[in-house]
Amino acid sequence: MNAVPLPRRQQIRNVALYSTTNCLVYFTAPVVYVGITQTSLCAGLGASDTVANLPASAYFWAVIVPVFVAARFQKVSATAPALAIAYLAMALAGLLVALSLWWPVSTQFRLAAVIVYGAMIGAGLGSRNVFVWEVVNRGMSLELRGWAYSLSFGLGPFFAVIGALLAQLLLSGEVVIPDFTFAQGLSLTHVNITPLGFPLNFAALFAATTPVLCLAAILSSQFKLPEVHDDAPRAALLSTLLESATELTRDRILACAILAYVLVDAGFTITNNMSLYTIEALHRPAEEYAGYQNALRFCFKMTAGFMLGWLLVRTHAKLGVLVTGAFCLAGIVWALAAPNRWFLLSFGLMGAGELYGIYYPNFIMARSRANRLRQNMAMLQLMSLATSLAPVGFGALSDEFGLPASFIAAAVITCLSLALVAWGLPARPTPPADSTAGESSPRLEDACSSL
């Protein structure tokens, strides 16, 4: 039975808009997903490992912004406008970095611009993530959610692969792509352009994200949700935060899920150091492989996206959480153990694991009451503030003890997340009734039987 009070045609329209906007974000992912590209740019500007990780840390420092945005736009009717504003802020961030690289300014100013970019993307994507779950929860049925995830995170990474190859072409002036013909079979084709040179190649790459994200802003403004009588006065920010914190103390399953998300989120930021490790593993500059790393990342993510969407329909929410966390752990271990160019496959495994950003929050959404969903997602963003310490911490660890030491630390953190999921969460979460809001985590035998 469909519990969403919208015509099926409107729900399908929401699925199409949701999938299309996600595909547009994926197309810009080599830049918008703060990490590999920003680390390579900072390394090219002569930054240390610690400074090269600052854009990723700034991304997480900005997670406080969605909390204010969620408190300011509390009505359900504000969902679409808030999404449009978030995309426009991200478009502006790319333009600002492009201008800083184009103008003859100091290296310190350019590094500062890249760090600010990380913060603006953190604020924009974080706000998008808070409000888009309102669309998923109120705008499409459970059955259609599985299809929306498969389209968005199966087809979406295909656009990211295209974006990654185009990024590689802009950065190095050359890209190698597979080519198949019936006469010759599978072969490799070299595509060449006149290279722009550093840093104009990065300027062109950042500037190209602006029109794409502007289109996403236009499309996201077209979401339609059920009419909700939400004329109650807007609660103050402090009281909203206190209510969310109180709910976490009463609902241990929700608190456990959020903590597991924060841990896997922290472990995943090791991808920045993995990019820097390219120099040591392949004896070539990191920027020469940044595009290929992103291509592998999203090829694997595309395959996992189709599989996990199907699994969500066929099984339960917890399995998606476990699988994505296991992919992250496998990617880190592979980076430690793989020789030579086989090391690059670690980026593919991390790409598949990156879907933790969907399946961990999906579990949290399933556990949340409808009237508390936005606040819980904002609290999730706020709790992720702790993740901001991870990139800089991994960078300092690698400066002191070498990059492999930071990989070991990330693997331990990811293992802790998986342990919380395996033994602290039920397979099929449901919103707690008032009488069970304070229920504890499931018993060990119940959790094990749900695996």
Could you read off the pLDDT of 329-350 as tens digits, one per residue?
999 999 888 767 788 888 889 9
What's the total number of domains in the chain?
1
Token pair in block for residue 46: 């002569």
Q: Provide the mean pLDDT of the chain.
A: 82
Does residue 209 form part of some domain?
Answer: yes
Instruction: List the Cα angle 213/167/308 in 5-degree steps.
Output: 70
Residue 187 is predicted with a pLDDT of 58
CA distance 26 to 294: 11
By C-alpha distance, which of 37, 292, 302 is closest to 176?
Answer: 292
Other C-beta atoms lying within 10 Å of the C-beta of residue 220:
27
Helix axes 107-139, 64-72, angle to 10 degrees: 50
Does residue 3 form part of some domain?
Answer: no
Does residue 337 form part of some domain?
Answer: yes
Residue 446 has pLDDT above 50, yes or no: no
Interval 135-154 mean pLDDT: 84
Q: Which residue has the higher pLDDT, 254 or 445?
A: 254
Residue 310 is predicted with a pLDDT of 79
How far is residue 122 from each of residues 33, 367, 436, measured CA to CA in Å? 9, 25, 34
The structure tokens 């598949």 sit at 352
Does residue 1 form part of some domain?
Answer: no
Does residue 2 form part of some domain?
Answer: no
Residue 162 has pLDDT above 80, yes or no: yes
| Residue pLDDT, tens place only, 11-38 | 999 999 999 999 999 899 889 988 778 8
Q: Is the pTM of this model over 0.85?
A: no
By C-alpha distance, which of 111, 10, 125, 104 is closest to 51?
Answer: 111
CA distance 60 to 347: 21
Residue 415 has pLDDT above 80, yes or no: yes
Q: Are 251 and 432 in contact (CB under 8 A)?
A: yes
CA distance 255 to 247: 9
Does residue 125 form part of some domain?
Answer: yes
| Residue pLDDT, tens place only, 312-331 | 778 888 998 999 999 999 99
Does residue 439 form part of some domain?
Answer: yes
| Residue pLDDT, tens place only, 275-292 | 778 777 776 765 566 667
CA distance 133 to 264: 20
Sign of the four-CA dihedral 146, 262, 350, 388: positive
Residue 249 has pLDDT above 80, yes or no: no
Does residue 290 form part of some domain?
Answer: yes
Task: Assign residue 71 the CATH number of its domain.
Answer: 1.20.1250.20
Residue 437 binned pLDDT confidence (cut-offs 50, 70, 90): very low
CA distance 127 to 106: 32
For residue 367, give its domain range.
8-226+235-449
